Structure 1
Amino acid sequence: MSEPATHDARAAQRLAWARAALHQPDAGLERASTDAGFRSYWRTVGTVPSRIVMDSPPGQEDVRPWLRIRDVLEAGGVRVPQVLARDVDTGFLLLEDLGGPTVAQVIDAGNADAHMAAAIAQLVRLQSIPLPADAPAFGEALLQRDAGLFEDWFVRRHLGIELDCGDSERLELAQRRLMDNALAQPRVPTHRDYMPRNLMPVDGGPAVLDFQDLVLGPVAYDPVSLLRDAFLSWPEPRVDGWLRDYHARAVAAGVPVPALDLFLRDADWCGVQRHLKILGIFARLHHRDGKPRYLADAPRFLAYLDAVVPKYRALDPLRELLDRTIKPAFAKVAA
């Protein structure tokens, strides 16, 4: 069957399933969001209230990991989308409609404290949940893969440079120290993309989205993902205040955070590791997937690295690499 025919057949199957699940033979569907891999989301038309159909085509997106993590989070008191009907074999779910804007679309300087307080409270709840014994861990293999994204896609493909022996050694040493720090931290449930664009401002929320890659990982990873976001920047004094607020809430909830000074260092280092990885991911989206808009945020990441890396002597190899090679090459590409 040709690709258009397959697409049409899936659309017809999706609509028929939605109408049956809703018990409304005249219901329609319209696209609710894009840029979600093979998974797609559709809002019902002609129903009150509206619902969302998640379509995870079998063989392309297995819906079971999403469902499993969703159920674990809900049992732990985390606000997640409610599942109203499910057909795992065909890859269809009927979900509540949480509305339109994400926290990223409504947050501003005036309301940021309230949104961050709610997001931090929800994160502490998430980090307190006991995960199943077979939950995947944020370990060496995942960190090595993340490290490779920066060199393969941002340095080689986007900047068009091959690092000389000295720079290769600098990057390898810095990445090793960042990985060792991440691996040494206490481990808690880690969303890995806990940021405003994956949070919905609803009652009892924010509701948490895009949680299917949750692992057992470093305790500082999600707080810094939220507060030093890939798409939003805040004045550093506000970020520091929010990190301290998170730490106090985590201590009160029994989350295994280290002492405040160590936690703030771990958050800085997790932020460096994460921003290097995201530079690689955004370069890959541009060069491989034809999505150039993400690289517009690259200067934000480099500014963050400039602000944080010089604070730590152990990260001097990375500072030297950035100053000697990465920033001059980026300036040429951006010119």
Structure 2
Amino acid sequence: MPPAASAPRLESLRHWFASQHDLAIAACELRLAAGDASFRRYYRASLPDGQTRILMDAPPAQEDSHPFVAIARQWEAAGLPVPHLYAVDLEAGFLELEDLGDTPLSARFDDEATTLAWHQRAIELLHRLQAAAPTQGLPAYDAALLGRELDLFPDWCLAWLALPTPPSWPALREALIDSALAQPRVAVHRDFDAMNLMVQGETLTLIDFQDAVAGPPSYDLISLLRGRYRRFDAETFATFVDAFRRRAQAEGRLDAELDAATFHHQVAAMAAQRALKVLGIFCRLTHRDHKTGYLARLPHFLNHLRDSLAGLPAHGDFAAWLENDFTPALTRALAREGVE
């Protein structure tokens, strides 16, 4: 369970919620529901009629909730499944949200058949998102942002391992950025992960979309298919990618002349970019933000990076460095940290 907010903030949140519904303070019990990698915390509160709400505590000094509120309202107006906002106080950093329950998509990965079926549902939702969500007002997923994300890998992961950046890094970095920029622009959730898709019956709802940008159609696809919960075999992964390309072409989001090999290369490059970013972020969360549990996920995303580089044969030098230098250094560092 994540740590709760400070007592003064929690008390302020209780008073704020009470004021929204003209309730006595003593009647407002807040139960910690969830936290995430940021400073946000989520609480569940009950109304006299039995309905429940989720209260987001996002301290303004650490979290800017303006993008979340703007996107939530915009996407709800576009007919997309997002939590409804009942009340907002951006100055205080308090939001009252629709309660979507406690079941993320990841909790539905019981067996192979069920897992594949839910991934299909998630990709259906992704098509809806890309078709309906406007890109106006979203920050651009431009070369500067892509580069800052990639630089998390040497700045945090390689620095922790005391490894120099390999000579092959600049060429790979440039190629990954160029590949992303060559793709058309759609609304990108930017963390379209099974923890950020909530299940209610057979329905999926989007959460945690405050970092959305206008960027490549392949990004959210690989966030799902090469996320923290599964490592699909090459054939299954290719089947998902091919089906996504054909539908996106049929609906006009991808060029009708885009061939399968080119799109697979774009997907591999986007997946490599995200895996490198995640390796850096997880090291930063551990060593700068003192959050636990992230180092244990590094080998999983290293495998995702390996799978992605297999589709980028021009960068064999980097792939060889990854096996010969990076992997042994990571294995030693994890052993020192007591991570198996």
For the structure 1 residues 80 and 262, does the alpha-carbon distance in structure 2 shift closer, same or farther, using more than 3 Å as the test? same
Match of 1:94 among 77, 96, 104: 96
Contact 1:195/1:229 (8 A) holds in 2: yes
Instruction: Give the residue type in structure 2 aligned to 1:289.
Output: D
Sort the Cα spacing of 1:80 and 1:203 in 2 relative to 1 into closer, same or farther, 3 A: farther
Is the CA contact 1:309–1:319 (under 8 Å) kept in the aligned structure 2? Answer: yes
> Within 5 A, what are the aligned runs for 1:5-24?
7-24=6-23
% same residue: 35
Q: What is the number of equivalent residue pairs in this alignment?
A: 325
User: In structure 2, what residue type is equivalent to 1:172?
Assistant: P
* Alpha-carbon shift at residue 234 of structure 1 (Å): 2.7
Rounded to whole Å, the distance in 2 between the matches of 1:38 and 1:311 is 36
Counterpart in the other structure of 1:33: 34
Task: Provide the TM-score with structure 1 as the length reference.
Answer: 0.90
CA contact (8 A) 1:230 1:275 kept: no
Structure 1: 5+ residue stretches without partners: 1-5
Q: State the AA in 2 paired with 1:117.
A: Q
Measured after TM superposition, the shift of residue 313 of structure 1 is: 2.6
Give the Cα–Cα distance (whole angstroms) in 1 for the partners of residues 224 and 238 of structure 2: 12
* SS state at 1:225 partner: helix
Q: Which segment is superposed worse, 252-261 or 208-217?
A: 252-261
Aligned equivalent of 1:60: 62
Map Cα deviations across residues 148-184 of structure 1 (whole Å, 9 max, x no partner). Answer: 1111111121x12224xxx2x2111111111111111
**1:135 Cα deviation (Å)?**
2.2
Q: CA RMSD in A?
A: 2.1
Q: Secondary structure at the match of 1:85?
A: strand
Q: 3-state DSSP class of the match of 2:293?
A: helix
Does structure 2 conserve the Cα–Cα contact (< 8 Å) formed by 1:83 and 1:95? yes
Q: How far apart in 2 are the matches of 1:282 and 1:63? A: 23
> Which amino acid is 1:333 matched to?
A
Contact 1:21 1:94 in 2 (8 A): no
TM-score (structure 2 length as normaliser): 0.88
1:203: Cα distance to partner? 5.2
Q: Which one of 172, 183, 187 corresponds to residue 185 of structure 1?
A: 183
Equivalent residue number for residue 338 of structure 2:
none
Instruction: Give 1:314's aligned residue.
Output: 314
Match of 2:234 among 233, 236, 245: 236
Taking the aligned partners of 1:91 and 1:233, their CA distance within structure 2 comes to 37
Determine helix, strand or coil for the equivalent of 2:123. Answer: helix
Please name the residue that 1:137 is paired with: 140
Q: Is the 8 A contact 1:174 1:317 kept in 2?
A: no
- Cα deviation 1:37-82 (Å, max 9, x = unaligned): 2222110146512111112233332322111011121122210001
C-alpha contact (below 8 Å) 1:76/1:125 kept by paired residues: no
Corresponding residue for residue 293 of structure 1: 293
- From 83, 86, 97, the equivalent of 2:85 is 83
Secondary structure at the aligned position of 2:6 is classed as: helix
- For residue 51 of structure 1, what is the amino acid of its counterpart? R
> Letter of the aligned partner of 2:21 in structure 1?
L
Which residue number in structure 2 is paired with residue 118 of structure 1?
121
* Secondary structure at the counterpart of residue 113 of structure 2: coil
Q: In 1, distance between residues paired with 2:206 and 2:262?
A: 28
C-alpha distance in 1, partners of 2:164/2:227? 29
Task: Give the 3 Å change call, closer, same or farther, for CA 240–162 of structure 1 in structure 2.
Answer: same
Give the whole-Å Cα distance in 1 for the aligned partners of 2:7 and 2:334: 41
SS in 2 for 1:79: coil
Report which stretch shifted further, 67-76 or 304-313.
Answer: 304-313
In the aligned structure 2, how far is the partner of 1:49 from the partner of 1:260?
A: 49
Distance 1:10-1:286 versus aligned 2 partners, 3 A rule:
closer
1:129 to partner: Cα distance? 3.1
Equivalent residues of 2:37, 2:285 under 8 A apart: no
Gaps of 5+ in 2: 336-340
- Structure 1 position 330, deviation (Å): 2.1
Asked if 2 retains the 8 angstrom alpha-carbon contact of 1:82 and 1:95, the reply is: yes
Distance 1:311 1:39, change over 3 A: closer
Query: CA–CA distance in 2 between the matches of 1:76 and 1:203?
Result: 22
CA distance in 1 between counterparts of 2:163 and 2:93 reads: 43
- Change in Cα spacing, 1:149 to 1:40, as seen in structure 2 (3 Å) is same
In structure 2, the residue matched to 1:303 is 303
Secondary structure of 1:110's match?
A: helix
Equivalent-residue separation in structure 1 for 2:180 and 2:135 (angstroms)? 21
